[in-house]
Amino acid sequence: MSGRPWSGTPSDSWCAASDVSDFIPLSVPNISGNEWEYVKECLDGGWVSSVGEYVTRFEEMSASATGSRHAVATTSGTAALHLALRLAGVGVDEEVILPSLTFIASANAVRYQGAWPTFVDSDEHFQIDPEAVRRFLVEDCHSGAVNRHTGRSVTAIMPVHVLGHPCDIDEIRDIGREFGLRVIEDAAEALGCRYKDRPVGSGGLACLSFNGNKILTTGGGGMLLTDDEETAVRGRYLSTQAKDDAVQYVHGEVGFNYRLSNVQAAIGCAQLERLAGFVERKRSIASLYAEELGRLPGVTTMGEAEWATSTFWLYTVLIDPSTGHTPNSLIDALARERIQARPVWQPMHLSPAHRQSHSAPCERTEEVHARAVSLPCSTSLTHAEQTRVVDVVSRLLRHG
Ligand SMILES: *Cc1c(COP(=O)(O)O)cnc(C)c1O
């Protein structure tokens, strides 16, 4: 085996560069702990499916890492979000407030429930802006939180902690209480973050992802986090086809096949053992970027809100047009130097997939999209590699 493992799909153009030994990828998994040993144990014992002790162990470890009482392992973060929306009782033709600046899975999960995302703008830390949520509810809704543009009831908020930085979740929960809205947290990118010294994912209904590009990976997987035992029990039930009697094939309602396999959970256990080290590594990569790139004119480095301890999961800078670069021109120039960088997601309110959804004005999101570039930040990134990234970015931004 040569080169590095890849977190993208085969259609991602940069995969072709994987043979080039000095290629620096954006963010790749770090599989160098007990993964082989635990997976071998599963395979040797024949416990490969979703019944097995690693699933339970991975749930217990995830609950403890996030300060939650219960955790339910799922096949993906998207599945966990869908399940959470179902458990929260979000129904057909209701609306869920979502930041426009997120990965599409957040919005898709809302549509799977037959509900509609309604998009709002983000704050200066890339996170859902509580002020924008409040403004939407006060100015764009009738009393009882009915969206006056669509006539639909707004029943939930799905804050997303993006890029490894927590959103202002206390403010969002306060708004939820004030307007009678449920809160379902998309913490897919935020495992290991802290909000006012509490782990992100605690104290509510939250979802994690263990996709290949996240801080930890199981190849694919997710986790639902809750303090409520009934929610956890029901989550497990719904994720295993709502099985009442396994022998007689009796099912109480329409469930899902959303349960994580034991093999994947085994990988997850080995990965989770290393979370603290991964966070430390991400934070030290971030501080070197902040120091070196912060000196360049026209670059805004990634900071932390006063409530936040970020993992800097995906290190993202804003490039001012005065540098002579757009995100795409910088990304192309970096690619020629065998360094992989990426823009942020197309904002959801501009996504063809969600063109039928309502959106509040999202100017800051559009500005972020027009300026943001994510830089290499794998936990395995060496100091020499990061120095090369810094040197190349500095040269490109100084000389256009
Ligand atoms: C990765 C991600 C998801 C989806 O997780 P999968 O495990 O890929 O299904 C959801 N929301 C956000 C913000 C993500 O980054």
* 166 DSSP assignment: -
Residue of 100, 103, 126 to test ligand 1 pocket, by largest number of atoms within 8 Å of CB: 103
| 250-273 pLDDT per residue, tens | 999 999 999 999 999 999 999 999
pLDDT band at 47 (very low <50, low <70, confident <90, very high): confident
Whole-number pLDDT of residue 20: 56
From the CA of 354, how far away is ligand 1's center (Å)? Answer: 17
Residue 153 is predicted with a pLDDT of 98
Among the listed residues 165, 205, 199, 166, the one whose alpha carbon sits nearest the alpha carbon of residue 185: 205
Averaged over 346-357, what is the pLDDT? 98
Cβ neighbour number for residue 70 with a 10 Å cutoff:
20
Q: Is 241 left (phi over 0), alpha (psi -120 to 50) or beta?
A: left
- Residue 400's pLDDT is what? 61
How much is the pLDDT for 249?
Answer: 92
Q: Which candidate, 188, 234, 237, places its Cα nearest to that of 213?
A: 188
Higher-pLDDT residue of 221 and 1 is 221
Cα 158 to ligand 1 centroid, rounded to whole Å: 13
Write the pLDDT tens digit of every residue in 48-105: 776 779 999 999 999 999 999 999 999 999 999 999 999 999 999 999 999 999 999 9
pTM for the model stands at: 0.94
Whose tokens are 């959970």? That residue is 265
| Closest residue CA from atom 5 of ligand 1 | 77
- Mean pLDDT calculated for residue range 221-238: 98
Q: Choose among 355, 368, 312, 360: nearest CA to 131.
A: 360
Over the chain, what is the mean pLDDT? 94
Report the distance separating Cα 27 and Cα 247, nearest Å.
Answer: 45
Higher pLDDT among residues 29 and 51, named by residue: 29
Residue of higher predicted confidence among 7 and 246: 246
Q: Which of 151, 158, 162, 202 is nearest to 181 (CA)?
A: 158
Tens digit of each residue's pLDDT (9 = 90 or more) over 127-183: 999 999 999 999 999 988 999 999 999 999 999 999 999 999 999 999 999 999 999
Other C-beta atoms lying within 10 Å of the C-beta of residue 178: 10
| Predicted pLDDT at 48 | 76
Q: Please report the pLDDT score of residue 100 as a whole number.
A: 98
What percentage of the chain reaches a pLDDT higher than 90? 91
Tokens (6 digits) for 181: 């809205």
Mean pLDDT computed over 294-315:
97
Query: Measured in angstroms, how far is the CA atom of residue 213 from the centroid of ligand 1?
Result: 9
Dist. CA 371–CA 314, nearest whole Å: 15
Ligand 1 centroid to residue 210 C-alpha, Å: 8
d(CA 321, ligand 1 centre) in Å = 30
Tell me which residues have their CB closer than 6 angstroms to ligand 1: 76-78, 102-103, 105-106, 160, 186, 188-189, 209, 211, 222
Angle between helices 130-139 and 169-179 (to 10 degrees): 20
